[in-house]
Amino acid sequence: MTALAPGENRPAPGDQLTVTVASSASVDVSALLVNTAGKVRSDADFVFFNQPTGPGVVYRHGNGGPDVVGVQTSALPADVDKVVVTASLDGRGPATFAAVGTLTTTIESGSTALTFPIMGLTTESGVVCVEIYRRNGAWKVRAIGQGYDDGLAGIASAFGVNLDDDPEPAAAQSHSSPVIPAPPPGPPAYPPPAYGQPGGPAQQPTYASQQGAQPVHSDLFDPSHAEVNGLGIQKQGGKMVKVGMNGEVMARSGSMVAYQGDLKFEALGSGGIGRAIRQHLTGEGVPLMKVTGRGDLFLANSAADVHIIDLDGTDGLTINGANVLAFDSTLRYDIGRVQGAAGYASNAGLFNCVFTGRGRIAITTHGSPVVLTVDQATYADPNAAVAWSSSLQTGIKRNDSFGLGRLMGRSTGEASTLAFSGRGFVIVQPSELPPGGLIGGTGGGQQAGTGGSIFG
């Protein structure tokens, strides 16, 4: 095995290369295929945990061991000048490489191996380990060891990856109020109910069979159970939404309970590359699918109560990712830190989803919520606060003194609360379920449905 010094280069030991990054701390390994200008040709050239394959390059998770990047130089496109292999701290251990004991990159092919121990890092949370590059028609390996203080996002941005997840939103579509449809001509028919009317026995609404069988009698065929009308996101009862589709909508993955028409479903993970990186580090986000086409889409999440919110663009909505059911593609969303909550956890942890723009969003709550107008000091249990106006200022208020009674287990059970000030509203559900409770888990990241609050 040959050890490389920083900046040293050697001929690539073969066509099939295995690049292993071993560290005493948990790291994410990635690779970027870049051109002669030192930039990726497109976002498809960024190979990482959320996009594990590229032309000639594959990422393999270590599953308890070091992550590995496989490179076949003969399969790399002609306009790819080099493959850059990086490592970044994943948020589960030290914040910088100064606290990491060892970080070693090994490049192997057959019985030949090159190794590069990376040392001297301080404030960096991401590092370019090695690069595999063309020189006069042959492939070589260079030891780099260049660090970045802003981790994987900083590395990706430096090589031209687009971290702006969404295009500029189009004009928001209008939403009509839900309307119960009139009975259609011919079967199925919805006769008016005659429950307990004087002068005759109680009757049930009837569905007349089109195959000549005996009619079906049930209150299920009452107009109150019929589909609502209108395009866009509409409430269908109290625990479901109907989306009248003529375009696209963003919905929580796995929330479809039925659909009619010609619809296409595309899994998106957490959104774009930048949001995938942030979700991986924070555990917060919304596992999304994009639905396109014409027809009717029905969505629900574990029979949670559904509510509709329209944003007019003047203020945003900060919301726990676990409570997001669907939203118009005209809205933008990102993952932001809860202000004033450093060192603590909220219903979604330190990070919540922030929606901005014009459009409609459907959220869920565990039970019927209260909407508090913030025109004075307002406080809420962090596990009950579902969403709030993004313009509000947040903080933490401690309610229990940390004394002997606290140490012996005597507490009000309300040790700390989220504090809100400014002008806006807070949506509070009648439940203090911890993250990952009955409404489908916290966020959509790898930590979804795990952990709990330290607020007491």
Per-residue pLDDT tens digits for 278-298: 555 444 456 778 899 999 999
Q: From CA 279, how far away is CA 445, in angstroms rounded? A: 6
Most confident option among 116-120, 158-162, 350-354: 116-120
pLDDT, tens digit (0-9, with 9 covering 90-100), for 127-179: 999 999 999 989 999 999 998 988 888 888 889 888 765 544 444 444 444 44
* CA distances, 245 to each of 241, 304, 451 (Å): 12, 23, 37
32 and 45 in contact (C-beta within 8 Å)? yes
Task: State the pLDDT confidence band at 189, using cuts at 50, 70 and 90.
Answer: very low
> What element of type H or E holds 57?
strand 57-60
Q: Residue 124 and residue 151: Cα distance in Å, rounded?
A: 7
Contact yes or no for 344/352 (Cβ under 8 A): no
For 209-218, the CB contacts below 8 A with 24+ separation are: none
> Beta strand pairing status for 57-60 and 126-135?
unpaired
Peptide bond into 205 cis (omega under 30): no
Q: What is the pLDDT of residue 193?
A: 39
User: Quick one: pLDDT at residue 381?
Assistant: 84
Pairing of strands 46-47, 27-34: antiparallel
- Burial string for 91-116 (b: 16+ CB within 10 Å, else e) reads beeeebbeebeebbbbbbbeeeebbb
Query: If you average pLDDT over every residue of the chain, what do you get?
Result: 77
Q: What is the mean pLDDT of residues 246-256?
A: 90
- CB within 8 Å of 376: residues ≥ 6 apart: none
Write out the E strands in 123-201: 126-135, 138-148
Band (pLDDT 50/70/90 cuts) for residue 439 is: very low
3-state DSSP: the chain helix, strand, coil percent, rounded to 5? 10, 45, 50
The runs of H, that is alpha helices, within 33-190 are 151-158
126 against 212, higher pLDDT? 126
CA distance 164 to 409: 47
Of all helices (H) and strands (E), which one includes residue 275?
A: helix 273-282
**Exposed / middle / buried, residue 227 (Cβ in 10 Å: 0-12, 13-18, 19+):** middle
Q: What would the pLDDT profile of 11-28 be if each residue is shown by its tens digit?
A: 999 999 999 999 988 888
Per-residue pLDDT, averaged over 86-92, amounts to 82
pLDDT tens for each residue of 47-83:
988 788 899 999 988 777 888 999 999 999 999 999 9
Q: Write out pLDDT tens, residues 361-393.
A: 999 999 999 999 998 989 988 778 889 998 888
Q: In this prediction, what percent of the chain has a pLDDT beyond 90?
A: 39
pLDDT confidence bin for 275, thresholds 50/70/90 = low
Classify residue 312 as exposed, middle or buried by CB count within 10 Å of its CB (0-12, 13-18, 19+): exposed
CB atoms under 10 Å from CB of 71, counted, come to 26
Beta bridge partners of 143: 130
Query: Residues of the chain with pLDDT > 70: what percent?
Result: 71
- pLDDT at position 174 is 41
Element (H, E) at 273: helix 273-282
DSSP class per residue in 382-432:
TTTEEEEETTSEEEEEE-S--SHHHHTT---S--EEEEEESSEEEEE-S--
What local confidence, expressed as pLDDT, does residue 27 receive?
87
Determine the pLDDT at residue 206: 58
